[in-house]
Copies of this chain bind each other. A is one copy, B any other.
């Protein structure tokens, strides 16, 4: 077993950072993060070299759960079209919650304008994975230009996230027909 002292503090910090930065933005203070996690600043700075790295680590940790909530279960026997639609259905249903603030990775990249920020790097990677997923499914479904379709879908995804996140749109019934139109245009069967 790899040494696993201090098991809780680290995770509590990551969870608190994920929750608070999502609600309040990346400019939330370290004192607030530590207080919410029930961890002293001293311990925090033993676990993470800086706030930036804590933020990046919290986004990274959140990543697998985030995509798990978006993608269909591994054992589901859906076709490529359904596997794409599933992502958008999930976003639409998530956006119904009043706590929904859009894709945390998009928000992070917009708030930290600096693309070299460690958290921006993580965010870029996660979003890249989503686009890659779309591309794979598009290919599988025989789309005429899988790469192009994947870019279109990511655009829709981020647009929907952003608008629903600021409460400007309620996605209900909007997303499915829009995505369907693009899939049809791309010849995805």
Residues of A within 8 A of B (CB): 23-25, 27, 101-102, 106-107, 109-111, 113, 115, 124, 127, 148, 151-152, 154-160, 162-163, 165-169, 174, 177-178, 181-182, 184-185
Contact = CB atoms under 8 A, between A and B. Distances in A.
A134 B95 CA distance: 24
Chief secondary structure at chain A's binding surface: helix
Nearest to A155: B159
A155 B154 contact: no
Contacts of A158: 158-159, 162-163
Q: How many copies does the complex hold?
A: 2
Nearest to A123: B166
Nearest to A120: B166
A185 B157 CA distance: 19
A106 to B, nearest CB: 6
B113 A110 contact: no
B113 A162 contact: no
Given A107-B110, A110-B111, A169 B155 contact: yes
B154 A163 contact: yes
A22 to B, nearest CB: 9
